[in-house]
Each structure stands twice: as C-alpha cells, then as structure tokens.
C-alpha cells in the first residue's frame, strides 16, 4: 500500500519533468512517473489530469492524488503521465483546450522516444491508455474523448468530475472559508502580469478567487468561453464513442453537485449502453482521498472493472 503521507506519495517512482510545449519561451510541462521496479518491455499509460476548477492545481500536487490511484498504477506496472495546462483567468478555455490537444500530440509523438531515453528498454504501450481526472480534471478527461479517435483511450476513472461548467450558485464560502468579495477579485485580476504563462499553482492558492469569480454574472462566459465546446455534458450528444468510464461522487459534494454526474451517466447510458458506471457514496468533494481498496470492497471492484477495459 502506498504511503498515506503526501510527502512520500510518489516515493516508488522515478520522476521526470519534461515540457510538452512552450509559449512565450515559457515551458508547459508533463510529469512522468516511472515505477522504480519497472522491467524492460511495453507498459501501459495512466494519463492523469488534475483538478482545481481550471484556476489552480498542478500535475503532481500530492494532496489531490489519492494513494489508491498510485497503488493501482504500481500494481499494473503503469507509467503515469500527468500534464499541467494553462489556467484561468490569465488564459481562456480555448487556450486550455489547445494545451490538451498539444499534450495528446506530444504523448503519441515524441513521448515514446523520451521515455526510452529515461528508462532503457522501457516502451510506452499506447494501445493501453487509462485516463483519470478528478473535478476539473474530469472536464479535461472528457474533452480528450472528443479530441481523439475511437479507441485511443481504453478506460476512464472520473472522481466527482466537472461534466459541465459550474453555474453561479450564490455561494459565499468554500469548505467554510469565506469567498473574496467583488473588489478583492477585481484587485486580483488587476494584479496579473501580462505575458506570463500561468500553468500551475499549489492549492489553495487562487482557488477562492477563482470560485468567487465564477459567482459573478457573465464572468464564466468571459473567461472560460461560451458554447457547447466548453460543456462536456452537451458535447456528449455529438460524440461517436465513449470508453468504459467509472464515475464516483460524494453525495454531499458542495463544489460539484452529484446531480451533474447523475445526469451525465443517464445520458451516457442512453447513448452508449453499458459504457458507464456511477457510484455515489457519502462524502464531500475529495472524499476519495482516504479510500483503500483493501478496506473498501466497492472501490476494489470498480477498479477491476476499469482495469478489464484498460488492459
């Protein structure tokens, strides 16, 4: 079992940080985790997209990378590839989707040779890709399906995914912490330095400001963008395929309503019968951080359902 301590979350991997694109001479990186006990040969890929509302977060922020997912990767000798991407509000939703497309081009292009240079004899099995993404990372994961040819992704695991942009809800606090007022948000926006590429931040940095910004009328459309392109739930209507997808959600989620996952699963099941599974358990946003498949039988069974399609 992987250590529950965030400080040692990735101790069983060798870590490499590699840019997958550069903007304004500033790199946007992907983190690569190679199991230390890996053997030569082809190994499956776990592509992990981080949460943070598209405002904050970074690829290997350990507090948001549950131990069970790390253990799952190790148990299957998988290579974890976790990209950063540009963040709101310095950048737009269109910019984020451009980064997503460039990440997949890099993964399917230069990445295998780069992997071989870091681990002799180890190759990337791009025919066996699992995608995971929690919260806003679920938004990234679903958008990946709409970018890629059928079968590129074999399975997805989506904890409390942001299946559609979060609407203004009238929230005045987040997890008991008051959100900044409009003046504070305006001051935050005014203090941003033009030309700086923001592609990663350690939560809770920027999280409260970002959530407060989304409560202001019209701001979501201004910064994320308008139209179906930015709404994975609506884009499902035009999808031609969907990999096996397991969604888990806390019934008391105060950030991303469990209703979003219920509606997504209902539509997905109607359009792609048998491809999705939704598990709702007691808990708030991030409830899976303490889960253990050795103790939580439903988690063990669900991961095996995912693994069958992945491998």
Reduced to 3 states (helix: H, G, I; strand: E, B; else coil), residue 126 is: strand
> Considering only CA atoms, which of 150, 121, 136, 154 is closest in space to residue 46?
154
**Spans of the chain below 50 pLDDT:** none
CB 50 within 8 A of CB 57: yes
Q: What is the torsional sign of CA 242, 239, 57, 280? A: negative
- Token pair 């292009």 is found at 109
- Token pair 């290579």 is found at 79
Give kind and range of the element (H or E) at residue 21. strand 13-23
| Predicted pLDDT at 229 | 97
Alpha helices, H only, the chain: 67-75, 93-108, 111-118, 136-147, 182-190, 207-214, 219-223, 232-235, 258-271, 297-310
Q: CB neighbours of 23 closer than 8 A, spacing ≥ 6?
A: 86, 197
| Predicted pLDDT at 217 | 86
Catalytic residue status for 135: yes
Task: Summarize pLDDT for 256-270 with one digit per residue, the tens.
Answer: 999 999 999 999 999
Task: Summarize pLDDT for 188-197 with one digit per residue, the tens.
Answer: 999 999 999 9
**What structural domains and CATH numbers belong to the chain?**
6-310 (3.40.50.1820)
CB 139 within 8 A of CB 133: yes
Catalytic residue among 135, 144, 199, 261: 135
């Amino acid at each position: 079992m992987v250590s529950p301590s965030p400080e040692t979350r990735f101790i069983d991997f060798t870590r490499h940080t590699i840019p997958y694109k550069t903007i304004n001479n500033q790199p946007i990186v992907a983190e690569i985790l190679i199991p230390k006990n890996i053997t030569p040969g082809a190994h499956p890929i776990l592509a992990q997209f981080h949460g943070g509302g598209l405002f904050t977060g970074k690829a290997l922020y350990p507090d948001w990378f549950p131990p069970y997912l790390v253990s799952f990767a190790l148990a299957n000798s998988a290579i974890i590839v976790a990209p950063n991407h540009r963040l709101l509000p310095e950048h737009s939703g269109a910019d984020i989707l451009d980064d997503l497309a460039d990440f997949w081009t890099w993964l399917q292009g230069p990445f295998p040779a780069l992997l071989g240079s870091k681990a002799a004899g180890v190759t990337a099995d791009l025919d066996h890709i699992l995608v995971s993404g929690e919260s806003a990372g679920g938004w990234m994961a679903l958008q990946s399906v709409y970018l890629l040819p059928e079968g590129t992704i074999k399975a997805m695991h989506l904890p409390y995914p942001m299946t559609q942009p979060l609407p203004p809800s009238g929230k005045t606090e987040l997890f008991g912490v008051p959100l900044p007022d409009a003046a504070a948000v305006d001051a935050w926006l005014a203090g941003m330095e033009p030309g700086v590429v923001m592609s990663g931040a350690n939560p809770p940095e920027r999280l409260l400001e970002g959530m407060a910004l989304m409560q202001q009328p019209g701001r979501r459309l201004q910064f994320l963008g308008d139209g179906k392109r930015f709404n994975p739930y609506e884009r499902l209507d035009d999808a031609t395929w969907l990999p096996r997808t397991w969604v888990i959600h806390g019934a008391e989620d105060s950030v991303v309503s469990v209703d979003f996952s219920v509606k997504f699963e209902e539509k997905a099941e109607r359009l792609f019968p048998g491809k999705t599974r939704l598990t709702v358990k007691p808990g708030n946003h991030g409830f899976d951080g303490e889960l253990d498949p050795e103790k939580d039988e439903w988690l063990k069974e669900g991961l095996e359902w995912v693994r069958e399609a992945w491998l």
